[in-house]
Chains A and B, each alone.
Chain A
Amino acid sequence: MGRYSAWNLFREGLRGGRGWQPAWRSPAPKPAYDVVIIGGGGHGLATAYYLTKNHGIRNVAVVEKGWLGGGNTGRNTTAIRSNYFYPESAALYDKSVRLYEGLSRDLNYNVMFSQRGMIVTAHSEPEMEMAARQTNAMRLNGVDAELLDAQQVRRLEPALNFGPRMRYPIHGGVLQKRAGTGRHDAVAWGFARAADAAGVDILQNCEVTDVIVEAGRCTGIATNRGEIRAGVVGAAVAGHSSVLAKLAGYTLPITSYALQAFVSEPLKPVLNSVVLCPPFGTYVSQSDKGGLVIGGGLDRVPSYGQRGNMPVQEAVLGALSEMMPALNKVKLLRHWAGIVDVTPDSSPIIGPSGVDGLYLNCGWGTGGFKAIPVGGYLLAHLLATGGHHALSRPFDLDRFVTGRLIDEAASSGIPH
């Protein structure tokens, strides 16, 4: 692979880019690999990369039924943050932020992690008290956090609604400066290119039709491109985790929902950070290209249809016009949806599946993108060692039996 650098970009510019090599190969499947990873999204590709980097395992295949990065990796609102309450969550997501901080140079691919900060606003005195609880928790967890008053929020994001008709007047908020956004496709492509360079076979258009379980152990998969045997199998298939579970014969506490996202026409810079206003359930940032990237809550109806429906569009976009009324004249360019895998506590599942030799990375729900590096890091650890990394242990499936859920909503007193 040609190394990416300013110098090589300059040199290739002079000769029409003829020297650029494929970012990844399109290999034919081999009959067997040491590790097969199902799902060529960010988590699957990151798993392959960290298997090669951290564990020296290179005889690895990533199978993807469509095109790599085509699931939720390429459909999200690109927020990266670790503003979590519980120590287990904070440790997990902050590891991810730290991996993201070095990712561009690690992968030699600019994933454009932009630490522009994220503000979660508070809209009443009780919400300010919760914001203090959150800020203190984050700082005790080793995550940067600042408690802002209304004027500080206004200075950071003057587009927010400080007008007299604001339904939920802004009292302040919590700022995580190290949070921000990344270029979602680049994360998938960067991991894919680096994994491919280390010898990983990325098999696109390769759909899993069955999971081979022999004597209680998963030994491979059947695909539309033939049977592939594996020493161990990792599954990182997000919204389709239950479908795969059915094939392999285990069960999951997951419901799949459509999560919508929206992007506006490109504008000159008008927003600085990622802003979430909880009472409106809507958040927004501005991409480097200039579009407002807008997200909100799940659709109301469990779904495998990768498209959104109007009630949530009206709720989310209407809310944005309330949050930032000057931006209501901006035009929506495109909206879409991904299928997210929601667990009872909205925390991920990382660990054994219940079928020997098959390990899970799923249940990220609405927040998988920010966790791509750590998700891959931890699944790679499981696949290579057969045991948990300390960071993934709390996220094992067994927490649903022990009752030790990790529910961030719980910290804010929202009964569920």
Chain B
Amino acid sequence: MTARRLPGRGLIDRSRPLRFRFDGRDFSGYAGDTLASALIAANVRVLGRSFKYHRPRGLWGAWTDDPNAIMNVTLHGAELPNCPAATTYAVNGMKARAVNAWPTAARDVKGVLDWFHRWLGAGFYYKTFMWPDWHLFEPSIRAMAGLGHVSRDVLEHYTADRTHDDCDLLVVGGGAAGLAAARAGAEAGRAVCLVDDQRVCGGGVYQQARIDGATPADWVAAQIDAILAAGGRVLTETTAYGVYDHGLVALVQNRGFGTAPRLIRMRAAQVVLATGALDRPITFAQNDRPGVMSLNAACELLVRYGVLAGQRLALVANHSLAAPARTLLAEAGAEIEIYDPLAGPLSALGGRVTTGLRQNGRDRVFDAVLVSGGQTPLVHLWRHAGGKLDWCETRQAFLPGRAPEGMVAVGAANGTFDLDPAIEAACAAGAGRPVPRPKTHFELHPLAPEPGGRQWIDLQHDVTLSDIALAARENYASVEHLKRYTTLGMASDQGKTSNMGGLAAMAALQGKPIPEIGTTTFRPPFVPVPLELYHGHRRGQLWQPVRRLPLEAEHRTAGAALGEYGGWLRPGWYGAGDAAARIAAEVRAARDGAGLFDASPLGKIEVMGPDAQAFLNFVYYNTMRTLEPGRIRYGFMLTEGGVVYDDGVLARLDAQHFVVSCSSSHVDGVRLHLEAWRQDGNDPDRIFVHDATQHWATITVTGPQARAIVQSLALDLDLAPQAFPHMTLRQTRWAGTDLRIARVSFSGDLSYEISVRASQATALWQALAAAGATPIGLEALSIMRAEKGYIIVGKDTDGETMPQDLGFDAPRRKKTTAFLGDRSLHTETAAMEGRKQLVGLSVARGKPPLAVGAHVLADGGPAARSAGYVTSSYDSPTLGRPVALGLVAEGRSRIGATVRVWHLGGVVDAQICAACVFDPDGGRLHA
């Protein structure tokens, strides 16, 4: 008789049978089974293949420590890659397929690779594939590597949930120690949260016959009842996978197969680690064969799933915890033979699977070989949090040493393997009392691996004892070099089973004690978590929501082609059909009559207070202290490095009240910029900065007919050019609401920028449209401003552009007061020749516009070199020929010169001209 399900045992629900497929065969199980437990119950021995040699792999661990049984699992058409069978709860209808094996794990054709193992040892690929070229070999190596295939199908509803949470006491691990700690904490009045990664709490407690006189199940239920009764919480199927700065514990909560899990960012005043310990493998010949299983896995299969791993069992262990395990398995009906690994070299027998064990020349037949070479406390979270580890000679293990702030370890995680002292310590920890590490009754005989045969250290990655020996011989002796050279511990279990074996082997080879070898860094996540865990509902349009205009409904009614510009959803143009023709028509309408443009995203930052004038004079490149109330001035804000950060107009409403109008995409940045300088070096009580951008909608009427259109509003305002000239601002009222009207222009034509309370924008827009203004989109305005030579910062400037490069040199030379970036305008580089300057670029009528991003070639030299580039380029409907702006080295002194413009290998000629090619005298602007 081999592995089988025992009647009446375990925590599975036998009233709920289920069926699933594995590698094309049908199997049955019960609710509560993992894929692994159900397959072992059916005596399936080969559950996977190893990464490199494609050796058959059985189950090693019954939970997160199993590196072997990795499957792609499909349920209801959704396939998840690389699911560990030992932690995937079986669901009726699942289809599982072993990864990296074809056609099945049992009959994987790539198993032949193992024949060549002597040439495929640690790091073999560093020594070959160099001639003629790595690229010749790489594709086939890539195809061989990898575990599961990932489908390119998007799982539509696979959306994680991300939450924040907090508690006084977070207990990680719901075994005996964790339950006791949580209960003690809850009963002491603390807000307790207990997390356990399995569906049923209890950890290894079910391996006990009785606990406090009760059955384990009754005891666990009583503890949970007490925790809940005292107001505590118990989260099952929830794994603490990482501890981050300032004590943040990341929890991942399973929400069922095929549903993305929940991320809980937990803040706990204190964390009790009761994460338990893992069985450590023993290295002996052929110890990778299916059937060689951790002792704890065999016990857990029995007590949780009612599965006996085999009838005839060899038990290989070197410590005192093996005795109760033997009793447990024997009472379940197994025939057990004990092996002392120190009594002589061991070798697992068999072909594809283990059929027995050899020691000292004596062969015995077994169904499975159960192994425990000691206990490895799970200290991952302890290390994430910065806790130290101490080597314990008695236990041959790293135990928690100096504690990180707010964390305490209890139970097996703290090296307390005996139940009663573990519970006692846990109660103290839960209640907030100091936790001494109790004396242990644990006895262990240290083992050192001895050469002989192929002995596996890392089961998934096929790292053997001889690989460790090779690494030592080649002086990859540091533990990190060992890991990286051999790939030890880099498998999907991240070394949970292999690291200690590897350290012990390296220590033995070098004749050093294990602590001198050290450990590699414990990195999160403790268990692999789906990338979706970090994603959640912030997806699609919610990833970075676009900003919406108050007038969006008007634009939609007018047939606007809405697009994203600088984070805002704005009309690019209006009407369907040929976009270029529509845009050109809008330009002509605005140039001939009046255009109506929604400029609402334009920044409107109010700066007020007695020191506002001096402050703005410092913040702007241009002199602003002479700006009179009611007037507007164009200016630049520079970085302290002298680079143009933003441009726009500043309006002065009265002596202590200004409005900074910045580019729509720079509003947040300019606001912070102003705040930073307001508070640094100024008296913040005498300057006040307030971003009112979204309070005001701004509607621009532009074109020769603009005055007539605005006139139709019947405002109490003289619009005559002398009374309301260019670069002035007037405040008035219309239909019971305030208006601010600025005579500024981005089109080059007479323009009124009318700001109105956002809630009144629709009425104003409709009134202006009814008066005959044609709605125009951003594309038309972009053309018009380019015709006029007006720049868009970030498009027509780059991160090196200084104001003198744009033709604004006077403040640099003449401004007498300090201003931001002033000194940087006089560095060697700021003063050098050859700076890129803003110019226009013209091509002959009838030629296509220059490509934006094309480079202007430098004259001379053997090879083509860049002397600048085209930043804006349009077919101008106004002029009937292409217009372009560019940044060109020394461009302003080369007006009239012909340059070669290079784009993707092609060259065209263009002439450098002034940036402004429309109404250079400004007659239309000042009309």
- Do A and B share a direct contact in the complex (Cβ within 8 angstroms)? yes
Question: What residues of chain A have their CB less than 8 Å away from a CB belonging to chain B?
Answer: 4-6, 8-10, 13-14, 16-18, 20-26, 66-70, 74, 87, 104-105, 108-110, 112-115, 124, 126, 129-137, 139-142, 147, 158-159, 163, 165-167, 183, 185-186, 189-190, 204, 264-270, 286, 288-290, 305, 307-310, 313-314, 316-322, 325-336, 344, 401-405, 407, 409-416
Name the one of A10, A141, A326 contacting B152, with C-beta atoms under 8 angstroms. A326
Given A266-B51, A288-B142, A415-B799, A185 contacting B485 (CB threshold 8 A): yes
Chain B residue with the shortest CB-CB distance to A137: B866
Name the one of B127, B494, B525, B798 contacting A110, with C-beta atoms under 8 angstroms. B127
Q: How far is the CA of A17 from the CA of B484 in the complex (A)?
A: 19
Q: Is A270 a contact partner of B473 (Cβ separation < 8 A)? A: no
Chain A residue with the shortest CB-CB distance to B646: A415
Q: Which of B54-82 contact A (CB under 8 A)?
A: 80-82
**Which interface residue of B118, B384, B475, B797 has the most chain A CB atoms within 10 A?**
B475
26 A-B pairs whose Cβ atoms sit less than 8 Å apart in the complex: A22-B474, A69-B481, A105-B130, A109-B126, A112-B129, A113-B134, A130-B853, A137-B869, A166-B540, A186-B126, A189-B126, A204-B478, A265-B528, A288-B142, A290-B142, A290-B146, A307-B245, A310-B248, A321-B539, A326-B154, A328-B260, A329-B81, A333-B528, A336-B521, A344-B641, A413-B799
Q: How far is the CA of A289 from the CA of B484 in the complex (A)?
A: 13
B626 on the A face (CB < 8 A): no
Residues of B within 8 Å of A309, CB to CB, are 244-245
B855 on the A face (CB < 8 A): yes
B737 on the A face (CB < 8 A): no
Q: How far is the CA of A251 from the CA of B211 in the complex (A)?
A: 65
Chain A residue with the shortest CB-CB distance to B544: A167
Q: How far is the CA of A333 from the CA of B494 in the complex (A)?
A: 8
Least distance between B903 CB and chain A CB atoms (Å): 6
Q: Which of B300-308, B822-830, B917-925 contacts A (4 or more CB under 8 A)?
A: B822-830
Q: Is A132 a contact partner of B829 (Cβ separation < 8 A)? A: no
Residues of B within 8 Å of A415, CB to CB, are 639, 643-646, 793-794, 797, 799
Least distance between A201 CB and chain B CB atoms (Å): 13
A-B interface, 3 closest residue pairs, ranked by CB to CB distance from nearest: A410-B799, A132-B853, A290-B146
Q: A13-B119, A332-B530 are in contact. List 18 more A-B contacts (CB 8 A).
A: A9-B124, A20-B474, A115-B135, A129-B852, A133-B853, A136-B855, A163-B154, A167-B544, A265-B528, A286-B142, A316-B534, A325-B154, A328-B260, A329-B531, A332-B533, A402-B827, A413-B795, A415-B794
The B contact surface, by secondary structure, is: loop
Q: Which of B472-529 contact A (CB under 8 A)?
A: 473-478, 480-481, 484-485, 487, 492, 494, 521, 523-525, 528-529
Least distance between B5 CB and chain A CB atoms (Å): 30
Residues of A within 8 Å of B473, CB to CB, are 17-18, 20, 22
Residues of B within 8 Å of A104, CB to CB, are 130, 134
Given A266-B51, A270-B150, A328-B535, A416 contacting B643 (CB threshold 8 A): yes
Q: How far is the CA of A319 from the CA of B857 in the complex (A)?
A: 38
Q: How far is the CA of A264 from the CA of B485 in the complex (A)?
A: 19
Given A4-B126, A4-B127, A404-B828, A329 contacting B150 (CB threshold 8 A): yes
Q: Is B532 a contact partner of A329 (Cβ separation < 8 A)? A: yes
Q: How far is the CA of A402 from the CA of B905 in the complex (A)?
A: 34
Q: Is B534 a contact partner of A313 (Cβ separation < 8 A)? A: yes
Q: Which of B569-599 contact A (CB under 8 A)?
A: none
Q: How many A-B residue pairs have CB under 8 A?
A: 324
Q: Is A269 a contact partner of B146 (Cβ separation < 8 A)? A: yes
Q: Is B82 a contact partner of A267 (Cβ separation < 8 A)? A: yes
Q: Is B865 a contact partner of A140 (Cβ separation < 8 A)? A: yes
Chain A residue with the shortest CB-CB distance to B484: A185
Q: Is A136 a contact partner of B903 (Cβ separation < 8 A)? A: yes
Q: Is A288 a contact partner of B145 (Cβ separation < 8 A)? A: yes
Q: How far is the CA of A110 from the CA of B484 in the complex (A)?
A: 15
Residues of A within 8 Å of B530, CB to CB, are 328-332
Given A288-B145, A414-B799, A334 contacting B869 (CB threshold 8 A): no
B15 on the A face (CB < 8 A): no
Q: Is A137 a contact partner of B855 (Cβ separation < 8 A)? A: yes
Residues of A within 8 Å of B539, CB to CB, are 165, 318, 321-322
Chain A residue with the shortest CB-CB distance to B245: A309
Least distance between B488 CB and chain A CB atoms (Å): 13
Name the one of B126, B146, B540 contacting A268, with C-beta atoms under 8 angstroms. B146
Chain B residue with the shortest CB-CB distance to A25: B475
Chain B residue with the shortest CB-CB distance to A411: B798
Q: Is A5 a contact partner of B146 (Cβ separation < 8 A)? A: no
Residues of A within 8 Å of B540, CB to CB, are 165-167, 322
Given A74-B484, A326-B150, A329-B150, A267 contacting B81 (CB threshold 8 A): yes
Residues of A within 8 Å of B476, CB to CB, are 23, 189
Least distance between A11 CB and chain B CB atoms (Å): 10
**Contact string against A for B residues 144-161, beta-carbon threshold 8 Å, 1 for contact and 0 otherwise:** 011111111111001000
Chain A residue with the shortest CB-CB distance to B116: A13
Residues of B within 8 Å of A416, CB to CB, are 639, 641, 643, 799
Residues of B within 8 Å of A185, CB to CB, are 484-485
Q: Is A136 a contact partner of B869 (Cβ separation < 8 A)? A: yes
Q: How far is the CA of A267 from the CA of B79 in the complex (A)?
A: 14
